[in-house]
Copies of this chain bind each other. A is one copy, B any other.
Amino acid sequence: MIIDGRKIAREINAKSKQRVATLKARQVTPGIAVILVGNDPASRIYTRTKHRLAQKLGIASTLYHFPADVDQATVLRQVRRLNQDDQVDAILVQEPLPGQLNNEEIVNAIDPAKDVDGLHPLNLGRLFAKQGGHYPVACTPRGIMDLLDRYQVPLEGANVVIVGRSLLVGKPMLALLNNRNATVTFVGRHTKNRSELTRQADILIVAAGVPSLIKASDIKVGSTVIDVGINRLSSGKLVGDVDYISVLPKARLITPVPGGVGPMTVAALMSQAIDLAEWRRAAGQYLVG
């Protein structure tokens, strides 16, 4: 069975639109601020996709576009200004940033209550610690959890293998699945027996950024395969990290690329921006430190 990310994303977006309308009736318009540096073509496309969806849902979206050679102090000043701006509920710094910028310092400067990407270490730590209360979580893993739940994939006691250990996908994915009592194996470039490990996975999540890294021989019959990769081939074709055609008949559930995880990430981002707007206004519910 093919997981229809577009359909579920549409449902989430429809709900987001209603939630924005409810907030607007209370004179609140959720606001997203996006910081984009330079002219990376993929980043510009992602940024535009987010901006258009925000507008469609009634979320105020502002883009702060800096030249590629902007200095650290300028970006930090912008982040701090957005932290103070009561119209802004969600701050997003589009990665990758050019080399002269200190990514870590910029992420750490974002108000954790406005950290819509869930990348601030305080939010990541709360997730990893399985703390209670409200805090944002990285949007791609959040979207994947939604997919797994909608398709009723059992998580407790399931053997999950995550290929790719990035801060934006692999690490929060590990935390979310561990918090649901899955048994998680975390696989990276240095793993010696990757195929042996992936073949044991009831649920395989691949976020490696390598076209067709996972073949049919790397998966377990009847498993659930979530492909986070979006790679553009020289032919122009978009493919995932999973060799879709060969894996499809062996998997029980699989996400296509495009139309799987991608639309869920943007839907989760918007949904979480609305969460942040609601949480910030429910005084005392968001406790940091």
Contact = CB atoms under 8 A, between A and B. Distances in A.
A19 B126 CA distance: 33
Contacts of A237: none
A277 B167 CA distance: 30
Contact of A112 (B112, B159, B181, B289): B289
Nearest to A112: B289
Contacts of A188: 178, 181, 183
Nearest to A192: B157
Given A157-B190, A178-B165, A181-B188, A104 B131 contact: yes
Interface stretch (A31-39, A55-63, A117-125): A117-125
Contact of A289 (B122, B124, B128, B175): B122
A112 B104 CA distance: 17
Assign chain A's interface to a size class. 35 or more
How many copies make up the complex?
A: 2
A166 to B, nearest CB: 10
A282 interface: no
Contacts of A187: 183
A99 interface: no
Contacts of A112: 289
Contact of A186 (B184, B191, B193): B184
30 contacts: A104-B131, A105-B287, A109-B289, A119-B129, A120-B289, A121-B122, A121-B123, A121-B124, A121-B125, A122-B122, A123-B125, A128-B128, A128-B171, A128-B175, A129-B167, A129-B171, A156-B190, A157-B190, A157-B191, A159-B193, A165-B178, A174-B186, A178-B186, A178-B188, A181-B188, A183-B185, A183-B187, A183-B188, A184-B186, A185-B186
